[in-house]
Amino acid sequence: MLWAGGSGDRIDIGSREVVDRWHAAPMNHAEVLLIGGRAGVGKTTVGWEVSALLRSEAVAHAIIDGDFMGQVHPAPKGDPHRAEITESNLTAVWANFAQRGYRRLIYTNTMSVLPEMTGMFERAMGAGVEIIRVLLTASDETAHERLVGRELGSELAQELGASARKARLLDRRAPAETVRVATDGRLVVDIAREVVAATGWGTTRDGGIRAINSQAHLPVDSSQ
């Protein structure tokens, strides 16, 4: 058995009852939650906490870290920015999820919320895909602290510079409907709850969503 939830309120997320609930609600289109933001803002950490909250409510979904969709070296011939291989991999992975009945996707990637990324998701997931954009934000000081704690190799200076540059770009160019969520000094579960609220995917009777670990803070080594 695979359990989700606290010790006093757990569900077996592998049970036939829960699987049936996951696939019971008809959905004729796909939905994708895009979680973007600068390096060090905590996209991967928040994405997994969002997934944990949705699992606690038996909300069917899949999760992809977009960085891995194009993580090859050197870049493929004719694809210097790895955009084509990223889209090809996303299309293939989503097809596997969709074939098994999944219709909701959490996708984390720095620039995913920008308008020029829309076409990739429409081609990979269908022209009618509903896109929900969330931009996580953090101050330069917060991002610096997290990156210093995370980047123990040779790329710290590069990451610090890129993080600041992309933060400015994202602030200028994210579409107006993008939900902006500050992460400075906040519990990761509170950030995730705000993100889930933007989707409307899973709520409890009191209008909130149950936390797996209400005391978890966003770690200083949070993902890009």
Domain extents in the chain: 28-199
Residues 6+ apart with CB under 8 A from 55: 4, 13
Residues of the chain scoring pLDDT < 70: 1-28, 151-154, 203-224
Q: Is the pTM of this model over 0.85?
A: no
End-to-end CA distance of the chain: 32
Contact 110, 149 (CB under 8 A): no
The model's pLDDT over 116-147, given as tens digits with 9 standing for 90+, comes to 999 999 999 999 999 999 999 999 999 988 88
CA–CA distance, 201 with 52 (Å, rounded to integer): 13
Local structure of 124: helix, strand or coil? helix
* Domain over 28-199 is classified CATH 3.40.50.720: no
Among candidates 71, 69, 79, 144, which has minimal Cα distance to 108?
A: 69
